[in-house]
Amino acid sequence: MPFQTSVYSSLKNQIDSNVTIVAVSKTKPIADLQEAYDIDVRDFGENYVQELVDKYEALPKDIRWHFIGHLQSNKVKYIAPFVHLIHGVDSEKLLIEINKQGEKFNKKISCLLQIYIAKEETKFGLNEDELESIIQKLPQLNNVQIVGMMGMASFSSDNQIVKNEFDTLKQLFDKYSTSSTENFKLETLSMGMSGDYKMAIPCGSNMIRIGSMLFGEREYKK
Ligand SMILES: *Cc1c(COP(=O)(O)O)cnc(C)c1O
């Protein structure tokens, strides 16, 4: 299925202009991304490092690339030169490595701290103690810029569960938004995907990560 231009347009019309749509293009061919680019999509989200690097090389350079997957420390170096925003920072070790690569490329790398909100063991993220401990370390990490938080709700048909998880993240976001430092200033709250963005936005999300709704269902090669 090609990029769903009309779905994208009506989504854009439905939501407030302060909400950024990240078009999640993982597993999709470059031609599909180019179609999206041609109707002015500039924010793309990818989950796999090699795939992101390949797409970066093939596509126009004014694209803002979001890394939304689970990032391994030893792969940060491949995306550090060009990545716009790393959504899934879920450990101090990873943040230290991102900082190191930022130093190497003489830039500040923007990151979101991923917070664990779901009741599912399979999801990644920091708890509040880990969040506090990362914040303590930030004065030594001058090549990272924490610009917000990211979370993934449970995959559940019970809307109340999902809403509670988004509310929990928003409360944490608000709590930590009041204190800002040189490299910690929360502005972006990345929550909501194809199945739950309609709930995430009223809960305070200003960045949604939309894949299958825009590009069709994904097929994973075995
Ligand atoms: C794949 C993915 C998405 C997009 O999911 P859809 O349900 O296809 O919209 C959003 N966020 C993350 C972290 C993902 O891995």
Encode pLDDT of 155-209 as tens digits: 999 999 999 999 999 999 999 999 899 999 999 999 999 999 999 999 999 999 9
Report the alpha-carbon distance of residue 201 to residue 203 in Å, rounded.
Answer: 5
Confidence (pLDDT) at 221 = 59
Average pLDDT in the chain: 96
Given a contact cutoff of 8 angstroms between Cβ atoms, the answer to whether 85 and 110 are in contact is: yes
Residue located nearest, by CA, to atom 6 of ligand 1: 211
pLDDT score recorded for residue 85:
98
| Residues with pLDDT less than 70, the chain | 220-222
- Please report the domains of the chain, with CATH numbers, ordered by start residue: 5-211 (3.20.20.10)
The atom number, within ligand 1, closest to the CA of 150 reads 13
- Give 130 Cα–ligand 1 centroid separation in angstroms: 24
pTM: 0.96
Q: Residue 55 region, left (φ>0) first, then alpha (ψ -120 to 50), else beta?
A: alpha
47 lines ligand 1 (CB under 6 A): yes
pLDDT in tens, 209-220: 999 999 998 876
Burial class from Cβ neighbours inside 10 Å (0-12, 13-18, 19+) for residue 117 reads: buried
- The reply to whether ligand 1 has any atom less than 6 angstroms from the CB of 212 is yes
210 CA to centre of ligand 1 in angstroms? 6
